[in-house]
């Protein structure tokens, strides 16, 4: 009897490309004929240094940022950058503007305020972060070092369709954890981009930071060690033991992305998958979207069941047919469909079919 196929809609750690998982399984005991595992490899070995350099080059090429940018790898996740960005870029008397569009920016504001008082220049918390504040009405601060935003809100399911323009000579700082490499974006206005790996890049435990050269030169020189961007850049992210396995895995994910046709092609696929889901939601009164139509995320499709007592039944029956981890975030409830790069079209097709049948029955 054939094994039932499982489609994992976990918001993170999220589904990984099956082809990459199988390749890792094949190589795990003996990497490249060396006779030992990647898990045992020195982070300073020539073999791993090549992996880390390949990974940086591929990432920048995919983002169209190949010249004038630096890639840093840190242990941990994106939450660590909430503090580290401010620590490196805000010294005495400096401030920054924050666009509060979800719980992750809210936490970033709290961390930044431990370094220097920052300003919330726009917020959507008045409606539970269900929309992105209009950018044309935002008054940015002339003295702000940077403008901070989170490109995709995983909790409620909103996403920036366009980004603000820098004002007064500052630059953008973006948390791209949940939608990096998922769509084509012009990122030239961003001085700093960071992303936890566990959505579209690889397994949890790694955060990637990309800095534009002019911004790197603005980093504080009176700090050093693991929290210093300057130190980590000078040490090629090898100041301490790097997360070797996660970087190796990410390098394979970037190879897989190339095989899918790169960001241009995966962007079309992600848009197609999201459109299918939103069409089903809009065509059935049982499903109530939680994000404003104009700001709906391609990565995290969120909705509630009009009859709340049916939510647990929806999750349970979905699991029975191999559609797992669909329960919404605890702050919002309902259902959350995470549609990251590794989710195949067949998974979305099966979910849409299930949703239609569930609506007809209930």
Average pLDDT over residues 152-179: 95
What are the residues whose beta carbons fall under 8 Å from the beta carbon of 353, sequence distance 6 or more? none
CA 243, CA 56: separation in Å to the nearest integer?
Answer: 14
CA 71, CA 51: separation in Å to the nearest integer?
Answer: 13
Nearest to 76 by CA among 209, 260, 251: 209
Active-site residues, by number, are 104, 175, 199
Q: Are 203 and 24 in contact (CB under 8 A)?
A: no
pTM for the whole thing? Answer: 0.96
CA 343, CA 362: separation in Å to the nearest integer?
Answer: 27
* C-alpha distances in Å from residue 188, one per residue of 27, 63, 211, 257, 300: 37, 10, 11, 22, 25
CA 38, CA 19: separation in Å to the nearest integer?
Answer: 18
Q: Are 8 and 14 in contact (CB under 8 A)?
A: yes
CA 30, CA 39: separation in Å to the nearest integer?
Answer: 10
**Cα dihedral angle (12, 15, 21, 22), rounded to 10 degrees?**
160
**In this structure, what DSSP letter does residue 310 have?**
G
**∠83-85-91 over CA atoms, to 5°?**
95
Q: Does residue 1 surpass a pLDDT of 60?
A: no
Q: Where are the beta strands (DSSP E) in the chain?
A: 7-8, 69-75, 95-100, 119-123, 144-150, 152-153, 158-159, 171-175, 190-196, 206-212, 287-289, 300-305, 323-324, 335-338
CA 226, CA 223: separation in Å to the nearest integer?
Answer: 10
Task: Look at strands 95-100 and 144-150 and give their pairing.
Answer: parallel
Q: Does residue 293 surpass a pLDDT of 80?
A: yes
Average pLDDT over residues 2-13: 88
CA 107, CA 47: separation in Å to the nearest integer?
Answer: 38
Tokens of 359: 């609506």
Q: Does residue 2 surpass a pLDDT of 80?
A: no
Q: Are 124 and 106 in contact (CB under 8 A)?
A: no
CA 313, CA 297: separation in Å to the nearest integer?
Answer: 25
Find tokens 């790694």 and name the residue: 206
Nearest to 220 by CA among 107, 94, 336, 105: 94
Spell out a b/e string for 277-295, using b for 16 or more CB atoms within 10 Å of the CB, else e: bbebbeebebbebbbeeeb
pLDDT digits (tens, 9 = 90+) for 317-358: 999 999 999 999 988 999 999 999 999 999 999 999 999 999
Average pLDDT over residues 255-267: 98
Q: Are 90 and 173 in contact (CB under 8 A)?
A: no
pLDDT digits (tens, 9 = 90+) for 214-257: 999 999 999 999 999 999 999 999 999 999 999 999 999 999 99
């Amino acid at each position: 009897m054939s094994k039932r196929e499982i489609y994992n809609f976990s918001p993170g750690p999220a589904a990984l490309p099956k082809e990459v998982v199988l390749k890792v399984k094949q190589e795990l005991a003996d990497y490249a004929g060396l006779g030992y595992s990647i898990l045992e490899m020195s982070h300073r070995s020539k073999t791993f240094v090549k992996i880390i350099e390949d990974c940086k080059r591929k990432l920048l090429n995919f983002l169209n940022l190949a010249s004038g940018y630096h890639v840093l790898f840190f242990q941990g996740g994106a939450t660590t950058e909430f503090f580290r960005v401010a620590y490196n870029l805000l010294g005495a008397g400096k401030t920054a503007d924050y666009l509060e569009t979800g719980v992750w920016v809210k936490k970033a504001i709290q961390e930044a305020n431990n370094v220097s008082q920052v300003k919330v220049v726009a917020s959507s918390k008045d409606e539970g972060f269900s929309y992105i504040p209009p950018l044309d009405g935002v008054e940015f601060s002339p003295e702000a070092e940077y403008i901070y935003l989170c490109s995709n809100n995983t909790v409620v399911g909103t996403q920036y369709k366009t980004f603000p323009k820098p004002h007064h000579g500052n630059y953008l700082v973006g948390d791209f954890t949940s939608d990096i490499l998922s769509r084509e974006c012009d990122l030239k206005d961003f001085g700093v981009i960071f992303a936890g790996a566990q959505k579209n890049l690889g397994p949890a435990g790694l955060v990637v930071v990309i800095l534009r050269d002019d911004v790197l030169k603005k980093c504080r020189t009176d700090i050093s060690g693991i929290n210093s961007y300057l130190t980590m850049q000078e040490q090629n992210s090898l100041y301490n033991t790097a997360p070797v396995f996660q970087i190796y895995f990410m390098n394979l994910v970037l190879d897989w992305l190339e095989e899918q046709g790169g960001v241009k092609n995966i962007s079309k696929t992600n848009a197609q998958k999201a459109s299918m889901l939103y069409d089903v939601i809009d065509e059935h009164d049982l499903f109530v979207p939680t994000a404003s139509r104009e700001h709906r995320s391609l990565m995290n499709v969120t909705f509630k069941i009009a009859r709340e007592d049916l939510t647990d039944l929806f999750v349970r029956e979905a699991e029975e047919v191999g559609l797992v981890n669909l329960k919404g975030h605890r702050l919002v409830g309902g259902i959350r469909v995470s549609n990251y790069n590794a989710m195949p079209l067949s998974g979305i097709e099966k979910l849409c079919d299930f949703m239609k049948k569930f609506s007809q029955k209930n």
